[in-house]
Structure formats: structure tokens, C-alpha cells
Amino acid sequence: MRPSISLLAACAALVCAPGLAQVLETRFSCSTVRTEDGEKLIYSDIGNARLRGDRIESFSWESALYRSTHGFDCSIDDGDGLVAEVREEAPRTTWRVALKNPLEARARRGYDYAHGINCSIRLVREGDRLEVKPSCPAMCGSRPNFTSLSVNISTGECRYEE
């Protein structure tokens, strides 16, 4: 018995559809300790992303920097009014997640001092590696930006950028 051509075409469309590469479903939890200018610093990041093309199903990221006497954090999630763009450049897929209204998002979080209204987070996936490249001072309290890092989405291994 030979499968019908329409069944073969349907299977090929599912396997070869370009949109399937534009799906990102991941969670990460990373931390590291560094010494800068003689002071011990702890970086801690936790996040999740469920993106289907330019549609955000779920997105959150908390990025903290702890010093010996105090800590700073940045956070963003899908409740902040996010939009996404996607671009595929084989073998990598790049998403850009940004705020629709940065001033409104900052006000909702209670940030009362000017820290800029820019917020763009690039997620670059190539195979099992995900690079998280933030430029989002708008969603940080007293810290200048989120921490740049990369994650192996299969093993969970994290690497903080210098």
C-alpha cells in the first residue's frame, strides 16, 4: 500500500516548515561568583521563554547582582507589555523582545528615577546554545542593565559574558 501524495506532502510540510525553527521553549537558572576590585559579587539569573515566531506565549527574566552590603536587580515579564520580532539566518534564529510602552512598564514597577526607556533583549539560538544579550536599562531599578549570558539549553550549563 502506497501512502497518498497529500499525506506525504503534509508530513513534509510539518518536518520542513521554516516556522518550526522559530520556536523557543526554554528555562534557565544561572549564577556565578566574581571578584571585582577586591569585592565579591554574586550574579544570579532565572528566566523562561516560550516564543513561537513573533508570538510571546510566556517570557520572564530576573537578573540580580549582589554585593556584600546590598543587591541590585532587573526584571521583565510578559505582563510588562512585550512585543517580539524574529529573524532566521540559518543556522541561527534571533528574537528581539522589547517593551511596547517602556515608560508605562517602568511606572507600573514603581521605578521613579530616570534610567532610560530603552529595552531590547536579543535571544540568539544556534543549535543548543542560546545567547541572551540585553540592552534594557528601562526595567532595572538602580542597576544599569541585565547580565549578558549564554546557556546550553540541553545541559543547562551557563556562561556569563565578561
Q: Is the pLDDT of residue 109 over 90?
A: no
Could you tell me which residues are beta bridge partners of residue 152? Answer: 129
- Structural domain contains residue 12: no
Number of residues written out for the chain:
162
Average pLDDT for residues 125-150, to the nearest whole number?
A: 91
pLDDT digits 0-9 by tens, 21-42 = 799 999 999 999 999 899 999 9
**pTM for the full predicted model:** 0.83
Is residue 9 situated within a structural domain? Answer: no
Residue 96 lies in a domain: yes
Distance of CA 115 to the CA centre of its chain: 20
Q: Is 40 exposed, middle or buried (0-12, 13-18, 19+ CB in 10 A)?
A: exposed
- Cα-based distances in Å from 132 to 43, 87, 107: 15, 15, 25
- Amino acid, single-letter form, for residue 149: L
Predicted local distance difference test score (pLDDT) of residue 125: 97
CB atoms within 10 A of CB 118: 14
Containing domain of residue 33, as a range? Answer: 19-160
User: Which pLDDT does position 10 carry in this prediction?
Assistant: 32
Mean pLDDT across the chain, nearest whole number?
A: 85
Query: Per-residue confidence at 14, pLDDT binned at 50, 70, 90?
Result: very low
- What is the model's pLDDT at position 2? 40
Does 141 map to a domain? yes
pLDDT of residue 113: 63
Assigned domain for 1 exists: no
Residue 4 has what pLDDT? 35
Residue 83: in which H helix or E strand, if any? Answer: strand 82-89
Residue 13: predicted pLDDT: 32
Q: Residue 8's pLDDT is what?
A: 30
Question: Considering the domain boundaries, does residue 102 fall inside one?
Answer: yes
Domain-located, residue 3:
no
Number of domains observed in the structure of the chain: 1
CA distance 131 to 116: 23
The verdict on residue 4 lying in a domain is: no
